[in-house]
């Protein structure tokens, strides 16, 4: 499986549950969509460097989304 196929599979698997978590944190219609997009964009750009965390994929996505959510809430 190539990188793009792996990424698509990861998105299909984790986007909905991650969106639910972001919605609980932020609770603001459009902001969640942007945070979800930013999370997966960061994974796409830095995928190989995330492997050192040795976490399961959802845990990695959760940490990234949490950071973006906190930034949103501060601004």
For the chain, domains (ranges, CATH) are: 3-74 (1.10.1740.10)
- The answer to whether 61 and 18 are in contact (CB under 8 A) is yes
18: how many CB neighbours lie within 10 A of its CB? 21
Q: Which letter does DSSP use for residue 52 in this model? A: G
Q: What is the mean pLDDT of residues 10-34?
A: 91
pTM attached to this predicted model: 0.82
pLDDT digits (tens, 9 = 90+) for 28-51: 778 999 999 999 999 888 876 665
19: how many CB neighbours lie within 10 A of its CB? 16
- What tokens were used for 43? 């994974």
**Separation CA 13–CA 18 (nearest Å):** 10
Looking at residue 1, its pLDDT comes to 63
């Amino acid at each position: 499986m190539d990188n793009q196929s792996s990424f698509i599979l990861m998105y299909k698997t984790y986007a909905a549950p991650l969106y639910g978590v972001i919605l609980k944190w932020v609770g603001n219609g459009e902001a969640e969509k942007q945070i979800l997009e930013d999370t997966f964009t960061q994974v796409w750009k830095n995928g190989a460097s995330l492997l050192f965390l040795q976490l399961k994929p959802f845990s990695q996505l959760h940490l990234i989304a949490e950071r973006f959510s906190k930034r949103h809430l501060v601004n």
